[in-house]
Amino acid sequence: SENNSITLNSTGTNLGIGDYEFSLNAIDGPYQDDSTFYNIPPGEHTVFVRDKNGCGIAQAVINVLGFPKFFTPNDDGINDTWNIRGVKPGAFVNSTIVIFDRYGKMLARFGIFDLGWYGFYNNNQMNASDYWYLAELEDLSGQITVYKGHYSLLR
């Protein structure tokens, strides 16, 4: 989506006691007191946490996943397939994405690093409609996260 956000838990024990400010993708700032960033595009981002008392800057690289709300398989080279965006190669050891129609019929199965769904089932174009996805992504630690949602196929 276009309204992804990142929130850093600044009240937990990870940062420790201190007065912090935060920046996204820019070590020199601008910095903000709020630990939430809005309207973040899918992809890899670096979060910088700076101690206001001059005790240093910490950073962490994170990935924001994007689940497109629509795709247009018309061979114009723009949004011709549907797949999850913003995935860093090597971030997941296993992935399965399954596409269903509104009746629950499985239409496609592919991995996160495959090209995605072209809008066909048994070599037939599917109609413009809403379709559902189930994505299971296994990270390097073996944790599996499940994402569910829907999107539109536009013709």
What digits encode the pLDDT tens for the residues 67-126? 999 999 999 999 999 999 998 888 899 999 999 999 999 999 999 999 999 999 999 999
Closest CA relative to residue 68, chosen from 2, 147, 145:
2
- Interval 21-79: pLDDT, tens: 999 999 999 999 999 999 999 999 999 999 999 889 999 999 899 999 999 999 999 99
Q: Rounded to the nearest 10 degrees, how much is the dihedral formed by the CA atoms of 110, 111, 113, 115? A: 10
The whole-angstrom distance between residue 38's C-alpha and the CA centroid of its chain comes to: 14
- Burial category of 121 from C-beta neighbours within 10 Å (exposed 0-12, middle 13-18, buried 19 and up): middle
Q: How many other C-beta atoms are found inside a 10 Å radius of the C-beta of residue 18? A: 13
pTM, whole model, 2 decimals?
Answer: 0.82
Query: Do 138 and 144 touch, CB atoms closer than 8 A?
Result: yes
Cβ atoms of 62 and 38 closer than 8 Å: no
Can you give the pLDDT at residue 3?
Answer: 82
Q: What pLDDT sits at residue 81?
A: 97
Q: How far is CA 23 from the centre of its chain?
A: 20
- How many of the other CB atoms lie within 10 Å of CB of 151? 17
